[in-house]
A and B are shown apart, each in its own frame.
Chain A
Amino acid sequence: MPAIEILGFEKTYMVGFWRKRPKCALSPLHLTVRDGEIFGFLGPNGAGKTTTLKLLMGLVFPTAGSARLLGQEWTDPRVKAQIGFLPEQPYFYDHLTAHELLNYYAQLSGVPGKERSRRVEAMLQRVGLPEVKGVQLRKFSKGMLQRVGIAQAILHDPKLVFFDEPMSGLDPMGRREVRDLMEQLKHEGKTVFFSTHILSDAEALCDRVAIIHKGELRGVGAVEDLTSSVQGKVEVIWQGTQVPTSMKALGAECHVTGDTVRAIISESQQDAAIDALRRERLRLISIVPVRTSLEAYFVEKLQRAETTAGRMA
């Protein structure tokens, strides 16, 4: 059973004051997220990521389409007990302390009274805020609020977690901790769906990603599949300071850095390159296929979308 099935979600807002006109925020979106995977929802600002998440959370209503979360209708309140949500740039009741806030959310999520206090304490520990649990949230920094946001999203032990830009406002250490936490959630068998425009995070974490731009889905697949669609080239690195003529003859693009040389050659010339280095008695360090980065794939998808839009205009 998929964790998330989005069945043609579509959202159009009416904009303008006197003469209202429709503005499409999300074209019909069909997407399936498997149980237990970390799924990245990528796109530039204004692409429709947050709209999709708000639709899934029931905060806005779709113009058309529906969705199923953990096999149930997405509007069913019972399913909400099994999901966690961190909104983008979260803001919480600042008259409460971190402990009171988490306790309040635990109450709303139906965590039993006896277990509530233990869960809240454990969660504050997990996100690194045990020392400030008695401080009102109005005194918290942006990064600390983000941690509270993460804690409230996973407090009730949900099976499915949605994070909207979870790394936003965090320093490098904080980002690392969030990445580790997402991996822990995956190991605990939970499904993580997160939106981001930080591609390195997505590449490091995600099993699969989807790319959305201007409300339209531009691509979806496993990170390995998207990044291995390469031009049939390999990267050869050897020890040395000079490029042998035989390597130049293979048409290699070579770069010398210190005492290593890096060359990109066609995959079909891989054996010839190894022979050439052996003949020159040079020490081969590595030979690996060149992979497209997720960023390159992302940029290419967006550029293609822009070109298509330009042609249609």
Chain B
Amino acid sequence: MNARIGHIASNTFREAVRDRVLYNLIAFAVLLSGAAILVGQISIDIEKLVVINLGLTAVSLFGIVIAIFIGIGLVSKEIEKRTLYTVLSRPVRRWEFIVGKFFGLAGTLVVNTFFMAIGVFAALFYVAHKFVRADALILIALYFIVLEFLIICSLALLFSSFSSPLLSAVFAFSLFVIGSFAEDLRGFAGMAHGLTRWLATGAAYLVPNFSAFNVISSIAHEQPVAAQLIWHNTLYALFYAAMALSGAVLIFEHRNLK
């Protein structure tokens, strides 16, 4: 990786840490330990199922909220506060800035997810008192969640490169919600006719298909994940994030910093 991108990414990560973004881990820990104790008392043989479902859903939601709320300010905040002036007046290309910001935020989310994953496994051990081979499937769910974060980060950056933080948040969150129902949208497109079919198909393939990344429920039931799905999701997430990032770069390359 280009050194300047690394420096920008490292500064973005440091900013997130110093702005106490990782404090969300405390809330996560409280939620998960509370849930583990509660289900340990009231559930009958479904403690693991509840903890895995709740834990992984919390990992996903906490991360998405962080990705959207940091991502939407990554470019617009720098323009508004004019911190960008002293960066772009150096031998830093605009695309390097965008890519550096992306990696910084993605890095923050990976670290955040790592600590949350430790929490999930700790809660699991608390309720089950042991680990079994099938628990390793949780790592696949966590990997898919990280892939989801990459897409969300790139979309937040894309919106941040041309609109205000508020609008960017609305756009990014709407896309996340629509993308979570992408399979339903594709199903609807298959049933529709004429122009509606064209429009629905276009929208279904344009929005990120987050439903393909949600394997939490099947993993909680200890169902294996097909290797093909892992490859497919990896390539899809990388391709989608690269496209969104390219869009952000393209817009930002031509933007006047007033």
A245 to chain B, nearest CB (A): 65
Chain B: residues with CB nearer than 8 A to chain A? 3-4, 7-8, 11, 14-15, 18-19, 81-93, 254, 256-258
Decide if B11 touches A104 in the complex (CB within 8 Å): yes
Tell me the nearest residue of chain B to A11, going by C-beta: B256
Residues of chain B within 8 A (CB-CB) of A90 are 82, 85-86
Given the complex of chains A and B, what is the CA–CA distance between A278 and B102 in angstroms? 82
A291 within 8 A of B: no
Decide if A92 touches B83 in the complex (CB within 8 Å): yes
Decide if B257 touches A93 in the complex (CB within 8 Å): no
A238 within 8 A of B: no
Known: A59-B88, A93-B11. 19 other contacts (CB 8 A): A57-B89, A59-B84, A59-B257, A60-B256, A60-B257, A60-B258, A78-B91, A80-B89, A80-B92, A81-B90, A83-B89, A87-B86, A87-B89, A90-B82, A91-B81, A91-B83, A93-B15, A107-B3, A108-B87
Decide if A110 touches B82 in the complex (CB within 8 Å): no
Interface size, A (range): 20 to 34
Given the complex of chains A and B, what is the CA–CA distance between A78 and B85 in angstroms? 17
Known contacts A60-B258, A107-B3; is A91 also within 8 Å of B89 by CB?
A: no
Known contacts A95-B18, A104-B11, A110-B91; is A85 also within 8 Å of B85 by CB?
A: yes
A297 within 8 A of B: no
B74 to chain A, nearest CB (A): 13
Chain A: residues with CB nearer than 8 A to chain B? 13, 54, 57-61, 77-78, 80-81, 83, 85, 87, 89-93, 95-96, 104-105, 107-110, 149, 152, 156
Residues of chain B within 8 A (CB-CB) of A105 are 86, 90
Given the complex of chains A and B, what is the CA–CA distance between A90 and B87 in angstroms? 12
Tell me the nearest residue of chain B to A107, going by C-beta: B7
Cross-interface CB contact of B90 among A13, A96, A108, cutoff 8 Å: A108
Known contacts A60-B256, A95-B18, A107-B7; is A152 also within 8 Å of B85 by CB?
A: no
Residues of chain B within 8 A (CB-CB) of A152 are 86
Decide if B11 touches A77 in the complex (CB within 8 Å): no
Decide if A58 touches B7 in the complex (CB within 8 Å): no
Residues of chain B within 8 A (CB-CB) of A57 are 85, 88-89
Decide if A95 touches B14 in the complex (CB within 8 Å): yes
Given the complex of chains A and B, what is the CA–CA distance between A90 and B91 in angstroms? 19
Given the complex of chains A and B, what is the CA–CA distance between A96 and B86 in angstroms? 15
Given the complex of chains A and B, what is the CA–CA distance between A105 and B4 in angstroms? 10
Residues of chain B within 8 A (CB-CB) of A78 are 91
Residues of chain A within 8 A (CB-CB) of B7 are 104, 107-108
Q: List 30 A-B contacts (CB under 8 A).
A: A13-B258, A54-B85, A54-B257, A59-B84, A59-B85, A59-B89, A60-B256, A77-B92, A80-B91, A85-B86, A85-B89, A87-B89, A89-B82, A91-B81, A91-B83, A92-B86, A93-B11, A95-B14, A95-B18, A104-B11, A105-B86, A107-B3, A107-B4, A108-B7, A108-B8, A108-B91, A108-B92, A109-B90, A152-B86, A156-B90
Decide if B89 touches A58 in the complex (CB within 8 Å): yes
A94 to chain B, nearest CB (A): 9
B90 to chain A, nearest CB (A): 5
Residues of chain A within 8 A (CB-CB) of B85 are 54, 57, 59, 85, 87, 90
Residues of chain A within 8 A (CB-CB) of B87 are 108
Identify the 6 closest CB pairs spanning chains A and B, nearest first.
Answer: A85-B89, A95-B18, A60-B256, A57-B89, A59-B257, A87-B85
Residues of chain A within 8 A (CB-CB) of B89 are 57-59, 80, 83, 85, 87
